[in-house]
Amino acid sequence: MSLPDKRFVCHVGAHVTGARQVQRYLRDNVDQLERQGLHCVPRALMGKLVGWGPKLVADPDRFAQELGSAWRSPGIDGVLVSHENTIGRPFGDGGGGLYAGALPTLEALAGVSEPAQRTVVLSVRPQADFLESYYLQTISEGAWHTFDDWLGALDLDDISWMPLHEQLIATFGVDAVRVLDFAEVGSDPVAHVREFFRLIGVDLPADLHVSPVHHPRPSEKGMRMVLAANPYVRTTDERMGLRAFLQKNFSDRDYPSPTLLTVEQRAELNDRYGDEYRRLVAAQPVGEARP
Amino acid sequence: MSRYDLVLHVGMPRSGAVLRRALVRLRPQLRTHAVALVGGAQIDGLQHAAGWQCGRGARGRDASMFERELAAAVTEEQRHAAGIRGRLPVRTVVSSNRLLGMGPVGRRDAEQFRPYATMATAQVVKALSARRVQVVLYTHRQDRLMELSYLKRLRSGQQVAFEDEFPNRFEPVLDYLDLIDRLRAVPNVSDVVVRPLELVDAGQHAFVNDFLGLFGLENALDLNAMGIDPLPYPSVYSARAAQLALALVPLTDTPAERRRVGAYVWKHYQASERYPTDLLGRDVRQRILDCYADRNRELFRTHLPDLPADSYSDDPSTFALGNVLSQPEPTSAGSAPVWTAATRAATDAVAKLERRARPVADRARRTISRAQRSR
């Protein structure tokens, strides 16, 4: 069955590239987007249907049913999801760049959305920023490895975005894939949301109101504290409590930022990946805006 | 009780707090039984409380003023009790943990267990001109006592290793028999009665009833008037809080930072059902118990013959001391509530609700402030 007049728009992350900002906007503007014919699947539901990928591969029918029921709804001609865990985790075993294990999930996603016209958005940021932010995310989620230990376990020659991008193109077609440059718009929530919707070809109101998702980064001192405390923090609510405490009291708003990558390491990563990153984010095909 | 005109209730940390909170609620009933109760908070609130010779910081020049003020406070309470029962002779109970000296047990107890106990008690006896005094001493098993005292010290913001706080932890320096002998030597103290704090495991009602039984008021009061103890756990850090404080505080640079860390640790990890106070490892605990085994056995044989002599020998205790108390007779409609289970369940339920409500409240606050800004 082909549904050429129906759309499926999927924002697949990646992690630490501002996916939460897009998700916040979708959550806060469900009604307005419905009026524009776009049904948003809540992130929590995506967690149940897709999880970190294997759930969708094992049981694609549940997600297919969700899509089908949305498409059949009167006035709805598109389904919009934003879920960064869809493509799994960025660092896996073996080669293949970032998110090397994403292919089975992407194929399952392509399978369930096949009848519709599809757009897939991948948010990216330069490797150096990505590494630093992802490390901070791991410790805010409870790990207590030092940055050097964590970095030492990675193959820095194998953290290109290109293989993932190529997989997306191979799975969904070159016209369906968009890349959002977080480095360009990430600091401005309004510009970020506008850019996302520009890429998928959906008009937004001129007086756009966006609630910023502001997670202060830990300071150097905050980072040392979280590393010291994490061995004793076990449950989710304890971790949330620690995170909130450190964000409130020891963030980089009031204290010096942590120094993670050295200047040399940054320069090396830039030499290694700078050109391909610029090629990746340049000359994006832009979706046709719909009324 | 009639043999004594003054009962001094003294105890190791926590025993005093549990009983005092209960007794304060029972004060009106105690008055009807001609018992005048003066609690630690009343004494601490005296203008010249610093004159009580119960610690290194006591002011000698305020001693006589303190004694006069204490005597006046006790007389006032005695008048209330006497007023209710006409001219009956009034029995007085003074309850304060400072009778054993100020501050938690620690390094200063290495040479002598509670070195200010004699001086502090003698001063109160003298101030009240008591002739026949009974001291009711609540003991706490030494490993737990050290543990709670250490957790209390960490809570106060001090950073010290357990080994440094108790360098003599494997020597029987916290010797109750010696302490009892010294209290007995205080002029006009006729008797020292010993009760183990661990009886509190039987529940608040049974524990309080046991204390009241020491002066003939067993099953005589309506214990439901106490209500549910709002603080069923010792007011100290949990073991987890201690680990976090020891990890975080060294990373702070200013007193303000230390305060913030302390507030966070206290708010999230104070001792509770969820966060116990078991800080010591099994081996260390047993080693401590082993070194006190002989003295504790002697303590139970001499002063607590109704309880098994090995009550303080093993962990977990061979004898659950809480089981030796019978629940008091219900004295009002309904059965006597079981304090331990009910209180802990209620406290945990409230804490759980608070935890759940916090993010909702935060979100609401953010929404309101956003709305105000946009307006």
Number of Cβ pairs closer than 8 Å across A and B?
28
User: CB–CB of B247 and A221 under 8 A?
Assistant: no
Task: Express each pLDDT in B278-295 by its tens digit.
Answer: 999 999 999 999 999 999
Note whether A238 contacts B260, CB cutoff 8 Å.
no
Q: What values do phi and psi take at A181, rounded to 5?
A: -90, 100
Q: Residues B117, B182: contact at Cβ < 8 Å?
A: yes
Give the mean pLDDT of A237-258.
92
B79 in contact with chain A, both atoms CB, cutoff 8 A: no
C-alpha closest to that of B339 among B206, B220, B140: B206
Q: Is B251 on the interface with A (CB under 8 A)?
A: yes
For residue B228, is pLDDT > 80?
Answer: no
Of A133-142, A185-194, B8-17, B90-99, the range with the lowest mean pLDDT is B8-17
Interchain CB distance below 8 Å, B248 and A225: yes
Q: Name the most confidently modeled range: A71-80, B24-33, B78-87.
A: A71-80
What's the mean per-residue pLDDT of chain B?
85
Q: Which 3 state secondary structure label does DSSP give B153? A: helix
Which is it for strands A116-124 and A38-40: parallel, antiparallel or unpaired? unpaired
Nearest to A232 among B247, B264, B370 (CB): B247
Instruction: Chain A: give the shortest CA distance to residue B169, in Å.
Output: 26
* CB neighbour list of residue A244: distance below 8 Å, 6 or more residues apart: none
For residue B330, pLDDT over 60 is answered with no
State whether A225 and B251 contact (CB < 8 Å).
Answer: yes
- Beta-carbon contacts of residue B14 (< 8 Å; ≥ 6 apart): B140, B148, B197, B200, B234
Chain A contact for B264, CB < 8 A?
yes
Cβ-Cβ contacts under 8 Å, A222 against chain B: none
What distance in Å separates residue B12's CA from the closest CA in chain A? 30
H-run or E-run covering B8: strand B6-11
Q: What is the pLDDT of residues B176-217, one digit of tens each?
A: 999 999 999 999 999 999 999 888 888 888 888 999 988 788
d(CA A93, CA A96): 9
pLDDT at residue B225 greater than cutoff 90: no
Task: With a cut of 90, say whether residue A287 has pLDDT above it.
Answer: no
User: What is the residue-averaged pLDDT of chain A?
Assistant: 91
Give the per-residue pLDDT at B273: 84
Residue A278: count other Cβ atoms within 10 Å of its Cβ.
Answer: 11
pTM, 2 dp: 0.76
More confident residue, B345 or B23: B23
Q: B6-11 and A177-181 as β-strands: parallel, antiparallel, unpaired? A: unpaired
Find which of A190, A213, A225 to mutate to test the B interface (most B CBs within 10 Å of its CB). Answer: A225
Q: What is the 3-state secondary structure (H, E, C) of B225-275?
A: HHCCCCCCCCCCECHHHHHHHHHHHHHCCCHHHHHHHHHHHHHHHECCCCC
- From A182, A154, A155, select the one nearest A13 (Cα to Cα): A182
pLDDT, residue B306, reads 87
Question: Percentage of chain B with pLDDT > 70?
Answer: 89
Which residue in chain B is spatially nearest to A229 when comparing CA positions?
A: B244
User: Are the CB atoms for B351 and B272 separated by under 8 Å?
Assistant: yes
User: Which pLDDT belongs to residue A290?
Assistant: 38
User: What is the reported pLDDT for B338?
Assistant: 43
